[in-house]
Amino acid sequence: MFRPTASLAVAILLAASSASAQDSTRFRLHAVHPASAHSPFLVTEGPAQTKAPFAASAVVDYAFHPLRLDVQDDVGQRTLPLVDHAVLLHTTVAARVIPELAFDASWSVAALQIGEDQTVGSRTFRAPGSAVGDLRFGAIHRGALSGSLGYVAGVRAWVPTGDAESYLSDDRFRFEALAGVSGVFAPVRFGCTVVGSPLIGSKEAGERVGAACAADVRVSASGPRVGAELWGGVVSHDPDLEMGSLFEYLGTVGQDAGPMRFVLGVGRGAGSAPGTSAFRAIGLVGFVAGGEASPPSAGASDRDLDGIADANDACPDDAGSEAPDPARHGCPSKDTDGDGIEDQEDGCPTERGARRDDPSTSGCPDRDNDRIVDGLDACADEPAPTYEDGQRPGCPRHARLEGNRFVLTPSPDPFGSPDRGADAVVLKEVAFILRAMPHLTKIAVEVRLRTREGEDESQLADLAVERAHVFARQLVDLGVEISRIEPVGALSKEDPALRILVVDRVDPKRRKP
């Protein structure tokens, strides 16, 4: 009995397959399928220049021992080389229809495959020669997660245009989905991508799922980038759903020269899945049209290696990013008070506060939560609405909380209309204070009516409760949660009055900005 398997370095971002005892030639063994032409990495989707309308790349991929047969027969366990050396050429082009969406196409050609025919029992496995591979088409969407981080999502399809007899096609359409994140933290850039076939759980050989990551760092302002790229995953390689693992890694060095980029990667692989090479060398030449500006020219000083020449860098000794403000161009992001607002946008960079439209007060503290920052608030511990006359900003005029009781000025008429006149102004300020002080969890709206000798107190008490409900409903209409309000009717020998009392409260918690 024998089982042929294969390893033509595929890596994680390539579909590979193995031969089965029933069919020795219908499996695909392309070398590494490159990333989209906009990506700065070989295989991984990385941070791309979203303003670049067109990109293209050409890759030369050499693999050592790209295809072998693992045989177990009467002689014993043997590994027979089918291809000793292979050189594949990949051409990829990509075009953006909008800044976030690009379409790409890639085509692979085996320029050279050197090996020997192998005969096992009554079957002969032919060493492949030069041949063409399947066409790959893709749609890639890129978006921003933050100023330095982005995401990528897309789909790819392989069309069976290649030569199955040379192990460069399996005469099947294939589809994969991909997703990933990438970022730039000068002088480092990185990317990670996850790929998966929707048929990974089926009985189709060559389906895969895996992940790839890459990173590089610029070693000088106009010098090369040094980095690493690795990928791994699992591939189904026979009809009984046997899965094999694969892992490959490369050391890389690259150089950008205006719109051109050059990358060389060398590494090796390990694993049981088809598509794992013993040794690999990859060279890439890429072109990105209309992209970002070139790094500083040779001789231009860039001490912090952030790609911004010292002459234009507001912080030449601290690596940063580009900024429209010349005073912040090339400076690192900094948030001294930890309120989530960078210092250059924070009106109070050493005091925590909330973000506001006015840059002079954005990030400044507001203890009483009345949207008037403490520095402008004449009553910084008493919330109050803003009045147009501008006098004593932040100070209440009609409702002050003293202990557990609101002092109302003027005192509302228990029989009045709470949505009109002076009573409406008073209740509006009460509602504002309650919204700004959520730690006051229960409020009693009490209407107290005066009893007179001979009156029916039962009917008077019902009327007091009814009037309390009228004022409570007005506070609800002004944005106070109904669960916080308790209408109360009361009888007294004193004149009729409306009282608003704090019945329950919790310790105020530190608010998040």
What pLDDT score was predicted for residue 67? 72
pLDDT of 206 higher than 60? yes
Report strand pairing: 131-144 vs 279-289: unpaired
State the pLDDT confidence band at 336, using cuts at 50, 70 and 90. Answer: confident
pLDDT digits (tens, 9 = 90+) for 408-432: 999 999 999 999 999 999 999 999 9
What pLDDT score was predicted for residue 325? 64
State the pLDDT confidence band at 203, using cuts at 50, 70 and 90. Answer: low
What pLDDT score was predicted for residue 262? 95
User: Lowest mean pLDDT: which of 59-68, 405-414, 466-475?
Assistant: 59-68
State the pLDDT confidence band at 273, using cuts at 50, 70 and 90. Answer: low
Compute the distance between CA of residue 69 and CA of residue 8 in angstroms, rounded to an integer: 12
DSSP string of 83-137, one letter each residue: EEEEEEEEEEEEEEEETTEEEEEEEEEEEEEEE--EEETTEEEPPP-SEEEEEEE
CB half-sphere exposure, 360, CA atoms < 13 A = 3
Kindly list the distances between the CA atom of residue 509 and the CA atoms of 32, 152, 380, in Å, as whole numbers in the listed order: 56, 39, 17
pLDDT of 330 higher than 70? yes
State the pLDDT confidence band at 17, using cuts at 50, 70 and 90. Answer: very low
- 135-147: average pLDDT: 86
State the pLDDT confidence band at 466, using cuts at 50, 70 and 90. Answer: very high
Residue, of 196 and 445, whose pLDDT is higher:
445
pLDDT digits (tens, 9 = 90+) for 428-448: 999 999 999 999 999 999 999
What pLDDT score was predicted for residue 164? 75
140 closest CA partner among 121, 164, 157: 157
3-state SS class at 361: coil
Compute the distance between CA of residue 337 and CA of residue 349 in angstroms, rounded to an integer: 6
Compute the distance between CA of residue 191 and CA of residue 181 in angstroms, rounded to an integer: 6
Residues of the chain with CATH 2.40.160.40: 54-289
Q: Is the dihedral of CA 359, 361, 365, 368 positive or negative?
A: negative
Q: Angle at the Cα of 81 (from 79 to 87), degrees rounded to 5?
A: 140
State the pLDDT confidence band at 136, using cuts at 50, 70 and 90. Answer: very high
- 264-284: average pLDDT: 84
Residues of the chain with CATH 3.30.1330.60: 399-504
| Helices and strands (DSSP H and E) totals, the chain | 2, 19
Compute the distance between CA of residue 12 and CA of residue 312 in angstroms, rounded to an integer: 41
pLDDT of 19 higher than 50? no
Output the CATH code of domain 399-504. 3.30.1330.60
Compute the distance between CA of residue 137 and CA of residue 209 in angstroms, rounded to an integer: 18
219 closest CA partner among 248, 251, 253: 253
Biggest alpha carbon–alpha carbon distance for the chain: 121
Topology of domain 54-289, CATH: Porin (2.40.160)
Task: State the amino acid at position 66 in one-letter form.
Answer: P
pLDDT digits (tens, 9 = 90+) for 42-59: 999 998 765 678 999 999
Residue, of 263 and 299, whose pLDDT is higher:
263
What pLDDT score was predicted for residue 445? 96
State the pLDDT confidence band at 404, using cuts at 50, 70 and 90. Answer: very high
pLDDT digits (tens, 9 = 90+) for 504-513: 999 876 544 4
Average pLDDT taken over every residue of the chain: 82
What pLDDT score was predicted for residue 5? 40
pLDDT digits (tens, 9 = 90+) for 282-317: 999 999 886 444 444 445 677 777 778 787 788 888
What pLDDT score was predicted for residue 396? 94
pLDDT digits (tens, 9 = 90+) for 156-187: 999 988 887 777 777 888 889 999 999 888 78
Please state, as a whole number, how many other Cβ atoms lie within 10 Å of the Cβ of residue 102.
Answer: 25
User: Lowest mean pLDDT: which of 73-77, 279-283, 486-490?
Assistant: 73-77
What pLDDT score was predicted for residue 106? 93
